[in-house]
Structure 1
Amino acid sequence: MMLPDFEAWAIFASVVEHRSFSSAAQALGTSKATVSKAISRLEARLGATLFHRTSRRLTLTESGTALAERAARILAEARDAEEMARDANSTPTGRVRLAAPMTFGLSRVAPAVADFLALYPGIEIDLTLSDASTDIVAEGIDVALRIADLPDSSLRARRLAPVALHLVAAPAYLEKHGRPEHPADLAHHACLAYTNVTRPYVWQFRRGQEEVVIRPSGPMCTDNGEAMLPALRAGLGLTRLPDFIVDKDLANGTLVRVLEDWEETGIALHLLTPPGTLRPARVEALIEFLTERFRHRAARA
């Protein structure tokens, strides 16, 4: 049985990552000719062209696109295996790339990172805050925190804690437009919508055996929950937001809960990592720290 050409697969992954033969060669510490020969060797072995090449542009073919993620995994697994061996008897060191949602990242993850760095001074954290659903394999993210009802994927996901959702509005809005008594009443109200979702955006409510699903509509939609707060406080509508965004407004009475006798189908905080079981000690250290920090208590700092 002929063994896979692991070197060629790794070089292919590097070319995809750096988007050029020259940049990949520089990153790998080899020559452009070596990179080109490895790609040609892999293409001959696969019987498929991996790149469209012109004098100015390098793009993946359909076959190349289909194989790029697997190549990235092969390279990542090899790197992780070597780093695990080196780290086995040493203090974790090096850089870890961490991604988290914007608002939760600022209020909860950033303080956690500061505490983690105090415990592990040899580790560097590259923290990316965005509400976009980052492709953590393509972006080279080691650990990602996501607050969502996760769709099926090849990523490894660990559910850390539930995140409560509250339907909220300003008292002034309710005085002017009335208080909904049933989720169906929301069809006649100004609902602010969150757009950064992978599935059709709906609100689900349950009371006993009764379940109601509505599709909110109103004067504003945004991909960041905290961006809704000024409009909410001004009495321009109502919306459903997680507790870590509205807890202070609920405490001081700027916002109040609506339909409190209805259970709102919640979401959860998940910790995601790329496929595979081999991870450097520094990544394992961060995973265990975040798991302990946020397990069962995502809303609290």
Structure 2
Amino acid sequence: MKLPDFEALAIFAKVVEMRSFAAAAAELALSKATVSKAVGRLEARLGARLFNRTSRRLALTDAGKHLSERASRLLADGEAAENEALARSSAPRGRVRLAVPMTFGVRVIAPLLPAFLEKYPEVSVDLHFSDAMVDLIGEGFDAGVRIASLPDSSLVARRLCAMPRHTVASRAYLKAHGTPRHPMHLADHNCLGYAYLSTPGIWRYTNARGEQASVRPSGQLRVNNGEALLPAVIAGTGIADLPDFIVAEAIAEKKVEVILKDWKQVEGAVHLVMPPGGPRPARVEALIEHLADQLARPRRKKPLS
């Protein structure tokens, strides 16, 4: 009796997951022809078509639907077995898929990687930039960096460092429109918004007396990347609430001013989040420890005024 064609089943499962032959080929570092031949080989062996294909759409046949769940489970079990074996390896090796916010990833995480890659030459890092809340489990990431007050979730989280926020505006804007003295005054101003706040559309403040204020500001500009707000703030378009890593330099250079100094937004932090379960591969543990060590160190920057 022939052994099942495990490779073809795994490739089929990846095509189903990625919903594309080309995307599956890229994910597996194979040619599209190799992926197509593997699925064709499986179809010939089973005597049934697994996909209905057009130039724009890929859909499972009934036979494909019946097979896809078992094939996906086979792929997941194989990856888990390999990860467990690698986790026991003394030398980290293999690929780590890490999802990071766009600007923080470019400015902070990416510069930390050359030293890591030099230390672990058999490890590679697939760095995915997005400010959106990436589905780590569904999209197959080993870990992700998130900057927020994390909601309850099934993910395992490790706090790496604090990340203060500052409500800022340019002198020109404040001269033309006045300076808010209380968070509720923001309702009368052009406030520039960020789409991926942990509390969408709401800025939450507290002061030293423990008083709280929640405001839902509005304005002319809303973006899905915080750094994109900074030019508009500097130009005097409006007020924005931005994390320290984006706005600290502009504050130090007096391009913008911190307002509402007696009030602070609920301080978020930089967290590394990971899917539950274990053990984690040695390559993932090594990257986690490297980032934790580097981000725990104070970063040199100009003092805020």
TM-score interval for Structure 1 and Structure 2 normalised by the shorter chain: 0.7 to 0.9
* TM-superposition CA deviations, 1:109-143 (whole Å, max 9, x none): 01111121121122111112221222222322212
2:250 aligns with 249
After TM superposition, the structure 1 stretch with the greater mean CA deviation from structure 2, 20-29 or 271-280, is 20-29
When normalised by structure 2's length, the TM-score is 0.77
CA contact (8 A) 1:81 1:279 kept: no
Q: Distance in 2 between matches of 1:36 and 1:298?
A: 59
Match of 1:158 in 2: 158
Q: 1:148 Cα deviation (Å)? A: 2.1
For structure 2, the residue ranges without an aligned partner over 5 or more in a row are: 1-5, 26-32
Question: Residues 70 and 33 from structure 1, CA distance in 2 versus in 1: closer, same or farther, beyond 3 angstroms?
Answer: closer
Aligned position for 2:174: 174
| Residue pair 2:95, 2:123 contacting (<8 A) in 1 also | yes
What's the CA shift string for 1:28-64, capped at 9, x where partnerless?
Answer: 99665647989x9xxxxxxxxxxx9535454479xx9
> Would you say 1:237 and 2:268 are equivalent positions?
no
2:146 alignment partner in structure 1: 146
Q: Which amino acid aligns with 2:52?
A: T
Number of the residue aligned with 2:3:
none
Secondary structure at the aligned position of 1:110 is classed as helix
SS at match of 1:176: helix
CA distance in 2, matches of 1:59, 1:83: 31
CA contact (8 A) 1:145 1:272 kept: yes
Percent of residue pairs bearing the same amino acid type: 46
1:262 aligns with 2:260: no
> Cα distance 1:206–1:83, how it changes in 2: closer, same or farther (>3 A)?
closer
Closer/same/farther in 2, CA of residues 34 and 53 from structure 1, 3 Å limit: closer
Match of 1:121 in 2: 121
**What is the TM-score of this pair, normalised by structure 1?**
0.78
Distance 1:73 1:34, change over 3 A: closer
Deviates more, 1:16-25 or 1:235-244: 16-25
Q: Quote the residue 1:294 is aligned against.
A: 295
What secondary structure does 1:139 align onto? coil
Per the alignment, residue 108 of structure 1 pairs with 108
Aligned length: 282
Whole-angstrom CA distance in 1 between matches of 2:199 and 2:60 = 28
Unaligned stretches of 5+ in structure 1? 1-6, 41-51
Deviates more, 1:102-111 or 1:194-203: 194-203
Distance in 1 (CA, whole Å) between partners of 2:289 and 2:260 is 37
1:91 corresponds in structure 2 to 91
Q: What is aligned with 2:274?
A: 273
Partner of 2:52: 54
2:221 corresponds to: 220
1:45 aligned residue: none
